Amino acid sequence: MYRTEKKPFSAPCDLCYTVFILKRTGNGKMKVIDVFECYYEAECIANDRPRHAAKVVLTATSDAGMISYEWMISFFPHDDEEDYAVSYDAVVSRVVYEGKGRRSKKRDAELMEERESVCDEIAAELDGKVFWDRPLREARLG
């Protein structure tokens, strides 16, 4: 993963600069895990199009000793029982945790307990509402 850009500092050799870049970027071994994913009935109007469902996802991303968790909600039309075509023009997300360490079941559980309140705040950014008591599919845990 060697970059050919101009060096922002004086390195004794190209190899030293390459090692610096690899350390800074975590050498490309970022791990992304879907901790939780579920489809729910929802209400939202985005881009003059009514949305009747939402995909709610909690993602953990770890790299170079750092971990971050992000909730993402994507509202989509769901015009009929078979319509699960998720759209990308009505998406909101929020990073809810960033820090040193790695994924832990305890942190996963804490974030899952806060799911509804945090996601309601996020959905409000699009004037959306998720109906937590009406899942369209069984949740997937990862």
The secondary element (H helix, E strand) that includes residue 38 is strand 31-46
Distance in angstroms (rounded) separating the CA atoms of residues 28 and 15: 17
The structure's pTM equals 0.75
DSSP designation for 68: E
pLDDT, tens digit (0-9, with 9 covering 90-100), for 7-17: 444 444 443 33
Q: Of 128, 116, 108, nearest to 54 (Cα)?
A: 128
pLDDT, tens digit (0-9, with 9 covering 90-100), for 22-42: 334 445 567 999 999 999 999
Counted residue by residue, the chain has a size of 142
Residues 6+ positions from 88 with CB-CB distance below 8 Å: 74
Residue 3, amino acid: R
Other Cβ atoms less than 10 A from the Cβ of 78: the count is 22
pLDDT of the residue at 117: 95
Query: How wide is the angle at C-alpha 106 spanned by C-alphas 101 and 111, nearest 5°?
Result: 95
